[in-house]
Structure 1
Amino acid sequence: MQLRKVTAASAAVLALALTATACGSSDDKGGDSADGGKKITIGIKIDQPGIGLKTPDGKFTGFDVDVATYIAKELGYDAKDIDFKETKSADRETAIERGDVKFIAASYSINDERLQKVDFAGPYLLAHQDILVRADDPSIKSPADLNSKKLCSVTGSTSAQNVKEKLAPKAQLQEYGGYSECLTGLENKVVDALTTDDSILAGFASQKDFQGKFKLAGFKMSNENYGIGLKKGDADLKKKINDALTKMVSDGSWDKAVKANFGPANYKNEPAPKIGNVVK
């Protein structure tokens, strides 16, 4: 008799738990919120003007933000339902694998090493490694001219090492903690050039405080195919994102986002890449 009472109580608890699960909220990576609305968490950069930036008033701006917002809309989410989450470069694969985000749009270059861990939709932008110089400096006309020049990049940057090892071995590499420090050094003539992806450089140069002070050299020292990172094997989501990217290009929203975020730097962007066409 006592055993039957315990079993009945347990069954009641189990039924209550199942009911709560059905009626309550799932996580916000791409499901329903506690108030019944759909929510989605998207990984972005928050410290790259023109690409992904969180402004002092808490808003998010940049080309990647515009792309991510467009994709989310096509997936059925309103802008108010998006939770943008900072994903630093070193944490992107982990964030996807762990399910912290539904997808990532964060100047995320497609390469073979990353494809072992995650899948990519896109690409949605073909960027190139380039350098930024002062607008009034005519002395750097080719990568070789960086020899004996002071070249700035962020500590641990592969871009700077690429220049140092392959293009201008005598360049004086100056590593700073962030791109904004490099820009200040460039403006004050402490360094002669800053190197990273041209899209990132254009984003910084487009900022109001820097407009007209810098120019991109246009060297195209590497190909960086920006893709949307997502969980490996999620073919359905990949197709939906690719369809959204195709629509974004066809309806003119892609061009509009490029001009809005990079235009003031006179960024000569490549045409929108075709889905699946990764340029080596």
Structure 2
Amino acid sequence: MTSSWDKHENYPEKHRISALGWLRVLGRGVILGSIVFGCLGILLLVRVIEKPIHGLHRPWTPFITQFVCRSAFWVLGMKFSARGDLMTQRGAVVANHSSWLDIFALNARKRIYFVSKAEVAKWPGIGWLAKATGTVFIKRDPKEARRQKEVFEARLLAGHKLLFFPEGTSTDAVRVLPFKPTLFAAFFAPELRDALYVQPVTVMYHAPAGEDARFYGWWGDMEFGEHLLQTLSQSPQGRVELIYHTPVAVRDFASRKALAAYCEGVVRGGHLLTPDGNQSGPGPIDP
């Protein structure tokens, strides 16, 4: 019997970080940390003024988040590209999930608000950033389902673009897992269904030359700190590419399961597209 793809014995081989690599870790880490936490301080100060005036609406602070996320790829020396039009309709964005880098990539192009598991709020550093940038935290508890649905509805009606990772977990960056329909239920509330759209987004990581195709994937029991060090030390870097697909109206789907299945298919198909939009090569590995 073979072990599951997400078990630790199947992780990519880790490289020993060289002396030059540690210099990159130090240099990039200091610059990136200064940008992230310096701008976090600015964001919190601006939010003190923004919140009493605009409430749930955040007309100013998302620009700070977007600046930080765009800067992150410049600091890492990692190429970032995106294609497709951003949705202008009210609604949500759904994407495949491969790495903590997804947060930077998806925020770099579009001003969005993530939906994340409640545990993330308690993580040092990341949790603080998530709270400050308006992340919606959810608990995997059926007793919380109604309250969380109400939170989603309030945020969506306020015009927030919520971003979901329907796979429910991160992967190795070479596969797309089945999309779980649970979180799509909020879109079908009577007061939302006819007004909302959903935009599927394909996130693709291209590993550095000569490295394992799963280099940027972060999943299973991988330690965040170790993965961060490997990413900071890497040279040359690879690249991340986003494909924004055509938004679809929620009212055109009979159920949350139908909408989830459609979005999964579109995101999977994005892995087959060449830069000119044609189909090419093998797609993501099936789970």
Report the TM-score range of the alignment, normalised by the length of the smaller protein: under 0.3
TM normalised by structure 2 equals: 0.27
With normalisation by structure 1, the TM-score equals 0.28
Bigger fraction of residues in helix:
2
Higher strand share: 1
